[in-house]
Amino acid sequence: MIAEVFGTALFGVPVLAGLLGLLLPAGDGGRARRRRAAALGIAGAAFALADAVFLLLVADDPVEFGVEAVRFGELPVTFGVSLGPAALYVALAVTVVALFVQIYSVGYLHDDPRYAPYAAQISIFTGAMLLVVSAGDLIMLLVGWEVMGVCSYLLIGHDRRLPEAPRAAVKAFLVTRVGDVGFLLGIALLGVSAGSFEISAVLASPPAHLTVALLLILAGVAGKSAQFPLHTWLPDAMAGPTPISALIHAATMVAAGVYVVFRLFPLFARSPGALAVLGVMAAITLLLGALAATAQDDLKRVLAWSTVSQIGYMTGALAVGSPAAALFHLLTHAAFKALLFLAAGAVIHAVGTNLMSRMGGLRPHLPRTFWAFVIGLGALAGLPPLAGFWSKENVLVAAAHAADGEGPAPAWVGWVVWVAGLLGVAITAWYATRLLLRTFFGHARSRTDEWHVGFDDARYERGPGAAHDPPGLMLWPVQLLAIPAALLGLAAFLPGFRSALELEAPHLEVSIVLPLILLAAGAGSSWWLWHTAPGVDPAQALGRWRPLFAAGFRLDDVQDRLVVRPVRALATALRLLDERVVDAAVEGTGTSTTRLGVVLANAHRAALPRAAVAVFAGALVLGVVAAIYGAAS
């Protein structure tokens, strides 16, 4: 009974807090009103966090229950919760990040008149992700999955002053929704073949066309987790307020896709075809994201592309048959990416711009933020002993094993993921170093009037004094997140944690040398470029590739040409068809009937002699017919 209540409350309470928060009046309501909204949001996240911790500490067995909610024909839909230890760790990461984001937002949006709905939407967002994590039924999972999409849409479009925000919001929802076409069909196939949508039942009875169903599921995963070719929404989603970026990139949304594959992994393990597609997708995403990150000038866009790339590591781990490594990287990534985004918010708050070309020399002014960045970027690049090192190591080892032909995936998939992963290490180190040097070292760049053209979502104009670390409400979440970003990797040495994730013990063998060399090469070359030409962007070295990388390989244009424009053209054509042909036929029937009526009416309007002749003629015809008829019978 306790497990049922706490399992349901895990996602129920944040959603409820969010729904209540939406009822609060929007608009600039003064401090009391803001305080209520903030209290509701923070309380929802804090409760969920406490709930997750409680379940992690108390529940010995996985929390599993389900009651039939409704039945469509032979297909029952259950309201079910299934929270194993691994799911609880993910829930923990979600709730920690959500709580910090809520607290941070109080400071970050301190003068936003639409703060109340914003905080409420974060609560619903968190609840929806927790629903995905704890769902024991695919339809329930789909509910959380889509609600998350809508919340991301609402939150990315939150900023009223950015003309690009509504467009980015629509794009985020639509691109993921396109993937969800496949997701829904995949769920339908799995559910229909299993006769139930319960995940345990689905895992037990795979359909005949398993690979097709899984590829359809992967379409949804690619959308949510920003995998090639459906990753295009994520960099644009930077138009959302920075704490929202932290939420989307670290713990919710992009993590959901990886989590779903993790959840359904027993099915994936039976389908080498699906794993191969996943592996190729992962490798492309990993390199594409990393290369695109090298050429960005916008601080948040570097981080966004790095997320695309890091999710590639997770899906790569899944593809090579190591869901544990994927989940481990998901957890460490949640910690360091949340840290990086919140710290980036502090920088943006301090200098009033997102563009690195307008930053520089910030280290003495923002010492704490600087250290947060050092830890976050070190973890991102995989610098030992920070969190990212251990999890990335795990992924690479898993890929190397798969390349040896172990595990469910074909060996070539292992090679592809391994090579891409190694290249990714060097590129990641390169752009992480560039980011750090461009932002915090060198000379402070002079301020001009153009400074405020970037994503100005913080609504802070830089004050007259020098830049400084943010106020406590924003600083504390950053400092606290630095702890897991630095240390979470060491959790791999804890047997309890390892057994929850079914993770292998860390290997400190020869295999770690190669990534470390690549790391040093990447970071070193970036530093050397910066050092030899002070004040020049190391990305200059990319030469003519730079615009291509900066534009994310122009895949937006491809998407526009291949999907958006044809659909628009088709829609225009169909509207014309509907109006000019289908409706015109209907109207035509009406007008021609009227016209026929006019003709007949005119025919009847005749002068007396002609009318008399007509009557006699008619009588004659009738008489003749009658005579013939009579004679015949």
Partner 1 sequence: MTTLAQVLLVSVLAVPALGALVVALLPARHDRGARIVATVFAAVTFVLTVLLVVPDAEYGWFTYTDGPPALLPWIDVSASWVPALGLDFHLGVDGISYPLVVLTGLLTLLCCAYTVSKVPGGGRGRTLAALLLVLEVGILGTFLALDLVLFFIFFEVVLLPMYAVIAGWGGPDRRRAARKFVLYTLFGSLLLLLGVFTVVVAAGTGDLMALTGGTGLSRTVQYVAFALFAVAFAVKAPLWPLHTWLPDAHTEAPTVGSVILAGVLLKMGTYGLIRVGVGVAPLGAAWAAPVLGILAVAAILVGSLVCLRQTELKRLIAYSSVGHMGFVLLGIATLTVTGLQAALIGNVAHGVITGLLFFLAGAIKDRAHTGALADLGGLRETAPRLAGLLAFASIASLGLPGLAGFWGEAFAVVAATERGGPLWITLAVLAAIGGALTAAYFLRLLRRVTHGPASPAVAGFAGVDRPEWLAWSPLVLLALAIGLVPALVLAATADPVAALTGALP
Smallest gap from residue 565 Cβ to partner 1 (A): 12
Choose the binding region for partner 1 from 141-149, 426-434, 520-528, 601-609 (rule: CB under 8 A). 141-149
Closer of 50 and 143 to partner 1 (Cβ): 143
Smallest gap from residue 221 Cβ to partner 1 (A): 16
Interacting residues of 542 by C-beta distance below 8 A, sequence separation 6+: 294, 295, 549
Smallest gap from residue 258 Cβ to partner 1 (A): 20
By the 8 A CB rule, do 382 and 248 touch?
Answer: no
What are the E-state strand segments in 395-501? Answer: none
Choose the binding region for partner 1 from 45-53, 170-178, 269-277, 307-315 (rule: CB under 8 A). 170-178
The answer for 241, left when phi > 0, alpha when psi is -120 to 50, beta otherwise, is beta
CA-CA distances (angstroms) from residue 129 to 14, 247, 291, 314, 511?
A: 10, 11, 29, 18, 36
Q: How far apart are CA 538 and CA 546, in angstroms?
A: 11
Closer of 22 and 555 to partner 1 (Cβ): 22
Q: Which residue has the tokens 């966004």?
A: 304
Q: Does 459 bind partner 1 (CB under 8 A)?
A: no
Backbone angles phi, psi at 362, to 5 degrees: -85, -10
- Rounded to 5°, the CA angle 470-290-330 comes to 70
Choose the binding region for partner 1 from 102-110, 163-171, 307-315, 523-531 (rule: CB under 8 A). 163-171
Smallest gap from residue 575 Cβ to partner 1 (A): 4
Choose the binding region for partner 1 from 397-405, 491-499, 513-521, 564-572 (rule: CB under 8 A). 564-572
Q: Which of 46, 91, 142, 267 binds partner 1 (CB under 8 A)?
A: 142
Nearest to 376 by CA among 506, 246, 466, 282: 246
Q: How far apart are CA 420 and CA 552, in angstroms?
A: 17
Smallest gap from residue 351 Cβ to partner 1 (A): 27
Q: Does 541 bind partner 1 (CB under 8 A)?
A: no
Closer of 107 and 149 to partner 1 (Cβ): 149
Q: Does 596 bind partner 1 (CB under 8 A)?
A: no
The interface with partner 1 within residues 261-320 (CB under 8 A) comprises none
Q: Does 404 bind partner 1 (CB under 8 A)?
A: no
Q: Which of 66, 117, 257, 289 binds partner 1 (CB under 8 A)?
A: 117
Closer of 96 and 237 to partner 1 (Cβ): 237
Smallest gap from residue 192 Cβ to partner 1 (A): 5
Smallest gap from residue 155 Cβ to partner 1 (A): 13
Smallest gap from residue 562 Cβ to partner 1 (A): 15
Choose the binding region for partner 1 from 43-51, 185-193, 398-406, 492-500 (rule: CB under 8 A). 185-193
Residue environment code for 274-296, b if the CB has 16+ CB neighbours within 10 A, otherwise e: bbbbbbbbbbbbbbbbbbbbbbb
Q: How far apart are CA 73 and CA 136, in angstroms?
A: 20
Q: How far apart are CA 149 and CA 144, in angstroms?
A: 9
- Rounded to 5°, the CA angle 230-410-214 comes to 45
Closer of 581 and 615 to partner 1 (Cβ): 581
User: What stretches of 81-114 show up as alpha helix (H) in DSSP?
Assistant: 85-108
Annotate each residue in 357-396 with x if it binds partner 1 (CB under 8 A) or - if it does not, as one string. Answer: ----------------------------------------
Instruction: Report the half-sphere exposure of 505 (CA within 13 A, side-chain side).
Output: 5
Q: Which of 111, 164, 461, 578 binds partner 1 (CB under 8 A)?
A: 578
Q: Does 561 bind partner 1 (CB under 8 A)?
A: no
Interacting residues of 261 by C-beta distance below 8 A, sequence separation 6+: 217, 218, 221, 268, 278, 315, 318, 323, 326
Q: Does 147 bind partner 1 (CB under 8 A)?
A: yes
Nearest to 6 by CA among 45, 75, 59: 59
Secondary structure (H, E, C), 208-269 = CCHHHHHHHHHHHHHHHCCCCCCCCHHHHHHHCCHHHHHHHHHHCCHHHHHHHHHHCHHHHC
Closer of 74 and 509 to partner 1 (Cβ): 74
Nearest to 551 by CA among 300, 307, 288: 288
Q: Does 178 bind partner 1 (CB under 8 A)?
A: yes
Q: How far apart are CA 574 and CA 288, in angstroms?
A: 37
Q: Which of 505, 520, 558, 582 binds partner 1 (CB under 8 A)?
A: 582
Number of residues that bind partner 1 (CB under 8 A): 55
By the 8 A CB rule, do 376 and 339 touch?
Answer: yes
* Crossing angle of the two packed helices 323-351 and 254-263, in degrees rounded to 10: 170
DSSP 592-623: HHHHHHHHHHHHH---HHHHHHHHHHHHHHHH
Annotate each residue in 76-115 with x if it binds partner 1 (CB under 8 A) or - if it does not, as one string. Answer: -x------------------------------------x-
Q: Which of 4, 461, 502, 583 binds partner 1 (CB under 8 A)?
A: 583
Q: Which of 58, 517, 570, 621 binds partner 1 (CB under 8 A)?
A: 570
Smallest gap from residue 200 Cβ to partner 1 (A): 19
Smallest gap from residue 602 Cβ to partner 1 (A): 23
Q: Does 531 bind partner 1 (CB under 8 A)?
A: no
Number of H helices, E strands in the chain: 26, 2
Is the peptide bond prior to 385 cis by the omega test (within 30 degrees of 0)?
yes
Q: How far apart are CA 90 and CA 10, in angstroms?
A: 12
Q: Which of 89, 153, 389, 415 binds partner 1 (CB under 8 A)?
A: 153
Smallest gap from residue 579 Cβ to partner 1 (A): 8
Closer of 77 and 437 to partner 1 (Cβ): 77
Q: Does 189 bind partner 1 (CB under 8 A)?
A: yes
Q: How far apart are CA 598 and CA 591, in angstroms?
A: 10
Q: Does 143 bind partner 1 (CB under 8 A)?
A: yes
Q: Does 26 bind partner 1 (CB under 8 A)?
A: yes
Q: Does 170 bind partner 1 (CB under 8 A)?
A: yes
Per CB under 8 A, residues contacting partner 1 are: 22, 26-27, 69-75, 77, 114, 117, 139, 142-143, 145-147, 150, 153-154, 157, 160, 163, 165-167, 169-170, 173-174, 177-178, 180-181, 184-185, 188-189, 191-192, 567-568, 570-572, 574-575, 578, 582-583, 586-587, 590
